[in-house]
């Protein structure tokens, strides 16, 4: 298979994994705490690993990993409907992966696709089981309809966290310095934690998380990447600080203050890396 065509196919897989991650996290957060929500979050984490593996293969082939989110199946009136849609989304992935395994010549790529396919087939079975379980036990959507300044600020935070997760992952793929790559990936994981904390807090105050992102910086030169990352961290740290001073809910203020402090840390780490690069680090 032509290398450019293979990169195109694998980027399509990355986009599908991306869509699955957001669909499953949306469902997990909407269910609140509990065994089923934790199981769905675990599947979302496996999809994150798939995305990362595929991105590394795209890089090895001379391509650029996509940051586009693929299609999702977000309909359904009940939690059981959501689980059925999750099973259908897995079916949407299983067929193409089987076709790709049959059509790809590269043995390493074929092996990776087979590994991912095994997970997707397992996820499909889990979601079929969960559809029956939640229908039997009567689980419900625990999100509320509250819409005020606090809810909007928390959703703004989710938008930011989702954006920088994608940005730092993309920059880590483009980085040619091992320490820069490692730090970007580490901070992306921390931002994933922030997104989860914000979503859980929203649900706890009867709000509804909205998992959307803004423009993702796709610079490819390391100093430009770090400049962009420092800039966005400084902006968001100020925003979280202002929100913490404005809001009256003690738990929300404590959360935003904690995230603010971690964003300041990210900015300082990135600044150190940038200073080292400017001194002549390759």
Same domain, 226 and 265: yes
* Total domains, the chain: 2
> How confident is the model over 172-208, as pLDDT tens digits?
999 999 999 999 999 999 999 999 999 999 999 999 9
CA dihedral 18, 16, 199, 33 (to 10 degrees): -120
Q: What is the pTM of this model?
A: 0.95
Asked if 170 and 129 count as a contact pair (C-beta separation under 8 A), the reply is no
What percent of the chain lies above the pLDDT cut of 90?
A: 95
What percent of the chain lies above the pLDDT cut of 70?
A: 99
Does any domain span residue 144? no
Does any domain span residue 101? yes
Q: What is the DSSP code string of 107-130? A: HHHHHHHHHHHHHHHHHHHHHHHH
Q: What is the pLDDT of residue 281?
A: 59
Placement of tokens 């992306």 in the chain: 188
**Rounded to whole angstroms, how far apart are CA atoms 34 and 28?**
9
Provide the domain limits for residue 270. 149-278
Does any domain span residue 265? yes
Same domain, 161 and 182: yes
Does any domain span residue 142? no
Q: What is the CATH number of the domain that holds 98?
A: 1.20.1260.10
Does any domain span residue 78? yes
Same domain, 92 and 160: no
Does any domain span residue 13? yes
Q: Please identify, among 137, 164, 185, the residue that sits at the C-terminal boundary of a domain.
A: 137
């Amino acid at each position: 298979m032509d290398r450019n065509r293979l990169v195109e196919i694998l980027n399509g897989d990355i986009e599908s994994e991306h869509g699955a991650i957001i669909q499953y996290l949306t469902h997990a957060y909407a269910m609140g705490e509990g065994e089923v929500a934790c199981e769905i979050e675990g599947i979302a984490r496996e999809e994150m690993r798939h995305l990362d593996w595929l991105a590394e293969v795209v890089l090895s082939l001379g391509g650029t990993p996509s940051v586009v989110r693929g299609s999702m199946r977000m309909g359904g009136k009940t939690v059981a409907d959501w689980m059925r849609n999750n099973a259908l989304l897995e079916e949407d992935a299983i067929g193409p992966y089987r076709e790709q395994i049959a059509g790809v010549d590269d043995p390493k790529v074929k092996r990776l696709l087979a590994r991912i396919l095994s997970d997707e087939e397992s996820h499909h079975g889990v979601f079929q089981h969960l559809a029956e379980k939640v229908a039997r036990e009567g689980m419900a959507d625990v999100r509320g309809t509250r819409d005020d300044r606090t809810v909007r600020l928390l959703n703004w935070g989710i938008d930011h966290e989702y954006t920088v997760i994608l940005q730092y992952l993309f920059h880590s793929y483009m980085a040619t310095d091992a320490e820069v790559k490692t730090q970007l990936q580490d901070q992306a994981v921390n931002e994933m934690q922030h997104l989860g904390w914000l979503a859980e807090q929203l649900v706890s105050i009867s709000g509804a998380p909205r998992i959307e992102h803004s423009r993702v910086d796709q610079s490819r030169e390391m100093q430009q990447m770090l400049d962009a990352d420092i800039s966005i961290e400084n902006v968001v740290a100020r925003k979280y600080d202002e929100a913490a001073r404005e809001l009256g809910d003690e738990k929300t203020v404590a959360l935003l203050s904690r995230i603010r402090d971690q964003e300041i840390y990210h900015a300082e780490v990135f600044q150190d890396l940038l200073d080292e690069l400017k001194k002549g680090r390759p």
